[in-house]
Structure 1
Amino acid sequence: MHFALPRLLVPRALVATLSVSILTACGDPKPPPTPDPPQVTLNVPEPNAAAPTLKIRVIVSGCDAVSQLAIYDRDTFIKTVPYTSGSMDFEIAPNEIKYTRGIAVDLALNAKATCSDGRTNVSQPAATKFLPVTKLVKDPDPNGQVVTDFFIAEGSGTSVNFVGCGNPTTGIGTLFRVDATGALLKSVEMGLPCSPYTVYTDVSPVSDKRWVWTPGLGAVAVKSDFTLSGRTKSTYTLANLSMMDNGDALIADDDSFVSRLSHTSNNGTVKWTFPSEWPLIAPPIQRGSDVLVAFVKQADVTQSNVLQIVVGRLDANGTGTLGLVSERVILDYNGTFESPPLASFSPDGSILYLGFPFGSGQSRVQACKTDLPGCEGGALKWTSGNLPAQLQFILPFAAGSRVAAIGAQSVWFLDAETGAIKNKDGKPVEASGVLRILQVQLGRATSPEFYLLNGPAVEGAMPQEIVAVDSAEKGELFRYEISSSLSCSVDNGNRLWMRLGNTLVQALPLADYRKVLP
Structure 2
Amino acid sequence: MSNRSPSRVLVRPALLLPLLSLACNNPPPVTTPDPPQVSVIVDEPSTVGTSLKLSVSTSGCDQVQRVDLLDNNELIKQVAYAGNPTPVVLGMSEIRYSRGIAANLSITARVTCADGRSNISQAQPATFLPVAEVVEPTSSTDQVVPDVFIAEGKESQSNVAFIGCAQEGNGRSGLYKVPRSNPDNTQRVEMIIPCARDTNITDRKPAGTGWRWVWTPNTGFFSVSSQFTLGTAVRVKVDRLTVLPNGDALAWDEGEGGTPKTLARYNPAGTKLWQLEGGSPDSTRDIPGFLIGDPVDRGDGTIAVPVQSGVIGGEAQIMVGVLSKEDGRWTSNFSLIDTQTPFNAPAPAVALDSTGTRLYMATQGTSAAYVRACAITGIYGDAGRCDPPTNRKWISSDLTGQVVALVPYASGTRLAVIATNRTWFLDTANGQLVNKDKQSLSPTGALVARQVLPGLDQSFYLFTSGVATESQPIPYPVEIIATDAAEKGEVFRYQVPGGSIAGATDDAGALWLRVGRKLVKPLSLEQYRQVR
8 Å Cα contact 1:306-1:332 kept in structure 2: no
Structure 2 CA distance for partners of 1:129 and 1:272, relative to 1, 3 Å: same
Q: In the alignment, does 2:486 pair up with 1:485?
A: no
Q: In the alignment, does 2:266 pair up with 1:261?
A: yes
8 Å Cα contact 1:50-1:130 kept in structure 2: yes
Residue aligning to 1:214: 216
- Counterpart of 2:219, as a letter, is L
- Counterpart of 1:260, as a letter, is R
**What does 1:180-191 align with in structure 2 at a 5 Å threshold?**
180=180, 182-191=183-192
Q: In the alignment, does 2:351 pair up with 1:344?
A: yes
Q: In the alignment, does 2:214 pair up with 1:225?
A: no
Residue aligning to 2:166: 166
8 Å Cα contact 1:355-1:363 kept in structure 2: yes
| 1:155-198 deviation line (CA, Å, top 9, x unaligned) | 22243211101112342332101123532431111311122222
What CA distance in whole angstroms lies between the structure 1 residues aligned with 2:503 and 2:336? 37
Residue aligning to 2:338: 332
What CA distance in whole angstroms lies between the structure 1 residues aligned with 2:316 and 2:140? 57
8 Å Cα contact 1:211-1:219 kept in structure 2: yes
What CA distance in whole angstroms lies between the structure 2 residues aligned with 1:44 and 1:332? 58
What CA distance in whole angstroms lies between the structure 2 residues aligned with 1:54 and 1:141? 22
Deviation, 1:413, is 0.9
**Which residue of 326, 329, 333 maps to 1:323?**
329
| 1:497-518 deviation line (CA, Å, top 9, x unaligned) | 221221221111111111121x
What CA distance in whole angstroms lies between the structure 2 residues aligned with 1:179 and 1:307? 49
| 1:125-174 deviation line (CA, Å, top 9, x unaligned) | 00111111111222121111111110112222243211101112342332
What CA distance in whole angstroms lies between the structure 2 residues aligned with 1:142 and 1:452? 26
What CA distance in whole angstroms lies between the structure 2 residues aligned with 1:493 and 1:81? 41
Deviation, 1:348, is 2.0
- Counterpart of 1:247, as a letter, is G
Residue aligning to 1:428: 440
Deviation, 1:277, is 3.0
Bigger shift: residues 422-431 or 163-172: 163-172
- Counterpart of 1:80, as a letter, is Q
8 Å Cα contact 2:198-2:474 kept in structure 1: no
**Which residue of 364, 370, 374 maps to 2:385?**
374
- Counterpart of 1:479, as a letter, is R
Bigger shift: residues 206-215 or 75-84: 206-215
Deviation, 1:106, is 2.5
Matched residues, percent identical?
Answer: 34
Residue aligning to 1:471: 485
What CA distance in whole angstroms lies between the structure 1 residues aligned with 2:24 and 2:223? 99
What CA distance in whole angstroms lies between the structure 2 residues aligned with 1:140 and 1:296? 50
What CA distance in whole angstroms lies between the structure 1 residues aligned with 2:211 and 2:293? 24
Deviation, 1:307, is 3.7
Residue aligning to 2:197: 196
- Counterpart of 2:212, as a letter, is R
| 1:290-337 deviation line (CA, Å, top 9, x unaligned) | 011122234xx6x9433432221111112xxx4311024232323223
8 Å Cα contact 1:190-1:220 kept in structure 2: no
What CA distance in whole angstroms lies between the structure 2 residues aligned with 1:117 and 1:278? 85
* Equivalent residues, number: 489
Residue aligning to 1:279: 290
8 Å Cα contact 2:298-2:354 kept in structure 1: no
8 Å Cα contact 2:265-2:272 kept in structure 1: no
Residue aligning to 2:81: 83
Residue aligning to 2:279: none
Deviation, 1:442, is 2.0
Structure 2 CA distance for partners of 1:455 and 1:496, relative to 1, 3 Å: farther
* Gap runs ≥5 in structure 2: 1-15, 256-260, 277-284, 379-383
**What does 1:77-116 align with in structure 2 at a 5 Å threshold?**
77-116=75-114
Residue aligning to 1:205: 206
What CA distance in whole angstroms lies between the structure 2 residues aligned with 1:224 and 1:384? 42
Deviation, 1:21, is 11
- Counterpart of 2:526, as a letter, is A
Residue aligning to 1:412: 424
**What does 1:113-152 align with in structure 2 at a 5 Å threshold?**
113-152=111-150
8 Å Cα contact 2:153-2:508 kept in structure 1: yes
Query: What SS does the corresponding residue of 2:153 show, helix, strand or coil?
Result: strand
Deviation, 1:269, is 2.8
Bigger shift: residues 332-341 or 185-194: 332-341
Residue aligning to 1:175: 175
Query: What SS does the corresponding residue of 1:488 show, helix, strand or coil?
Result: strand
What CA distance in whole angstroms lies between the structure 2 residues aligned with 1:217 and 1:353? 30
Deviation, 1:22, is 13
- Counterpart of 2:455, as a letter, is G
* Gap runs ≥5 in structure 1: 1-16
Q: In the alignment, does 2:60 pair up with 1:62?
A: yes
What CA distance in whole angstroms lies between the structure 2 residues aligned with 1:22 and 1:68? 47
Q: In the alignment, does 2:409 pair up with 1:397?
A: yes
Deviation, 1:111, is 0.6
Structure 2 CA distance for partners of 1:334 and 1:269, relative to 1, 3 Å: closer
Query: What SS does the corresponding residue of 1:513 show, helix, strand or coil?
Result: helix
8 Å Cα contact 1:187-1:226 kept in structure 2: no
8 Å Cα contact 2:292-2:307 kept in structure 1: yes
Structure 2 CA distance for partners of 1:453 and 1:179, relative to 1, 3 Å: farther
8 Å Cα contact 1:435-1:457 kept in structure 2: no
What CA distance in whole angstroms lies between the structure 2 residues aligned with 1:363 and 1:163? 37
What CA distance in whole angstroms lies between the structure 2 residues aligned with 1:506 and 1:409? 27
Aligned structure 1 segments of 4 or more residues deviating by more than 6 angstroms: 20-28
- Counterpart of 2:76, as a letter, is I
Residue aligning to 1:247: 247
Query: What SS does the corresponding residue of 1:377 show, helix, strand or coil?
Result: coil
Query: What SS does the corresponding residue of 1:229 show, helix, strand or coil?
Result: coil
Deviation, 1:24, is 6.6
What CA distance in whole angstroms lies between the structure 2 residues aligned with 1:502 and 1:297? 45
CA-atom RMSD in angstroms: 2.5
Query: What SS does the corresponding residue of 2:131 show, helix, strand or coil?
Result: strand
8 Å Cα contact 1:176-1:184 kept in structure 2: no
Residue aligning to 1:37: 35
